[in-house]
Structure 1
Amino acid sequence: MTGASARFLVVLDADSTLIRNEVIELIADEAGRGAEVAAATEAAMRGEVDFATSLRSRVSALSGVPVSAFARVLARIEPTPGVRELIAEIHARGGLVGVVSGGFHEILDTVAPDLGVDLWRANRLTVSDGVLTGTVDGEIVDAAAKASSLREWACDAGVPARLTFAIGDGANDLTMLGAAGLGIAFNAKPAVRARADLVVGPVDLREVIPLLP
């Protein structure tokens, strides 16, 4: 639906928002470094460290993981309760669904279309000879990139800023939540709950449906 007009736009974070998992931790499990990467992810989501620096460090722990491991990772992905119902309702009301993630296209390119997402953007992992090199390919999707994606998609679809919604859980989502007409903290860290326009407590995306125009 890229380039299509829409009544409104809803942009979600991926990890711990669209899906229950943190994908980088699932990939790190394949390298036997899941616990180490999980602790670093938690610190980044609380805003204790710079996201891009943290991501590069965590991705370095993925070095040597074969691309074939992505199938096992995909099998472990759990969509967040209510996500399909929310996306169906957004579409029924003439809205557009975007996902922008500090995670990875290698997983999101399968998960997003399966859930009915219209637009998505994420990081890419560098691969050589069928294994991960431990680096990110290209510019990192950080807090600023999340906000700019929301603005770009809204502009492309002719959606005014007041009819944009952002949903996220971590410190990396705060700029995007601030850029949206309504920023929603979902399953969120305390710093995000404190600064969002609205907090959704239950881990069920159907809770967002009454907020849609």
Structure 2
Amino acid sequence: MQHVLTLIAPAGQLQAPLAARVRAALIALGADAASPEWLAEEEALDIPFARLAPEQADAAARAALEGLPVDCVAQPAEGRRKRLLIADMDSTIVTSETLDELAAYAGLKERVAEITRRSMNGEIDFSAALRERVAMLKGLSLSALEATWEQTHLMPGAAELVGTMRAHGAHCALASGGFTWFTGRVAEKAGFTSHHANILEDDGASLTGTVAEPIFDRDAKLATLKRLCAELGLPLSASIAVGDGANDLAMLDAAGLGVAFRAKPVVAAAARVRVDHADLRALLFAQGYRAGEIVS
């Protein structure tokens, strides 16, 4: 079949009758849709199809699901396994916004988090917002970085996503609007091949309230994706990108498969693929990995 529609749900929440309903919806639009093939029992399955555009299949599936907590990924069947993963960090690979959590140690979490929210939803300029938030932390002891790291946790499925893709020969890169102080630690913990982010400046005892220029922003994320593909000898179509904020949109749009993960409204509305319900293993199922292939 030319295309494949993947349905993914939190474990135990995907049932065969629901898959049959989605397949019937595709057929009703004139698609040639094969029987569902389970990738993970009651969690993820493929429906190969032809004679229907992926966008039409996605819309038909969502209508048939009637708001149930199931994610859909419709795409060409050929080349679905990617050789490069490029991922945002905050609220994507880790569960928190590390800058917001760091600001808590200065008593500024709510003020900083509101600026973060507006920046990630594309309401204000990312670089200006980052400089403003970092300036508010001038004089904060470096011990706050360690305390923040101790409370930073990987997103469910993150280690499996990275471990599985690396086991199959992929390069896995973090590309974050946050800071290398955190991305280096997250990369080591989750198994990323490389990490790319902003440099938070200090005087050896406390933060100076400045970030090194140039800012690693939306354009830098896109440039990193393109550079890594060139260095690895890969077409952009062989990459998968994931993120949740407005500064991720350019790389999501350029990647072979761009996934908005539990994303901000402006990102969810613009992205071709979004994952709202499942964990990060959804990106493996979208590439056709079966449960038995996932590295835990």
Match of 1:209 among 257, 279, 284: 284
Which residue in the other structure is 1:116 paired with? 191
2:43 maps to which residue?
A: none
For 1:131, which of 190, 197, 206 is the aligned residue? 206
| C-alpha RMSD of the superposition | 1.2
Q: Deviations over 1:96-145 (max 9, x none)?
A: 11110000011111121111000110101111141101110121010000
Q: How does 1:4-153 map to 2 (within 5 A)?
A: 8-153=83-228
Aligned mate of 1:181, from 256, 259, 262: 256
| Residue-by-residue CA offset, 1:55-103 (whole Å, 9 max, x unaligned) | 1011111111111221111101010000111111111222111110000
Deviations 1:155-213 (A, max 9, x none): 11112111111101011100111121111100101111111120111251011112226
Give distance in 2, aligned partners of 1:81 and 1:180: 23
Question: Could you say if the C-alpha distance between residues 63 and 118 of structure 1 is closer, same or farther in structure 2, counting changes exceeding 3 Å?
Answer: same
Q: Distance in 2 between matches of 1:203 and 1:169?
A: 14
Partners of 1:110 and 1:103 in 2: CA distance: 12
Relative CO higher for 1 or 2, CA cutoff 8 Å, sep ≥ 6?
1
Other-structure match for 2:272: 197
1:185 counterpart letter in structure 2:
A
Contact kept, 8 Å, 1:8 with 1:94, in 2: the verdict is yes
**Gaps in structure 1 of 5+ consecutive residues:** 1-6
Q: Which stretches in structure 2 are left out of the alignment for 5+ residues?
A: 1-81, 289-296
Equivalent residues, number: 207
Larger Rg: 2
Aligned to 2:42: none
- Contact 1:46 1:189 (8 Å CA) reproduced: yes
* Distance in 1 separating the partners of 2:101 and 2:278: 20
Secondary structure at the aligned position of 2:209 is classed as: strand
SS at 2:131 equivalent: helix
- SS of the residue aligned with 1:44? helix
Q: One-letter code of the match for 2:109?
A: G
Counterpart position of 1:163: 238
Moved more, 129-138 or 144-153: 129-138
Q: In the superposition, relative to structure 1, how do residues 184 and 134 fare at CA in structure 2: closer, same or farther (>3 Å)?
A: same
Q: 1:51 deviation in Å?
A: 0.3
C-alpha distance in structure 1 between counterparts of 2:237 and 2:260, whole Å: 17
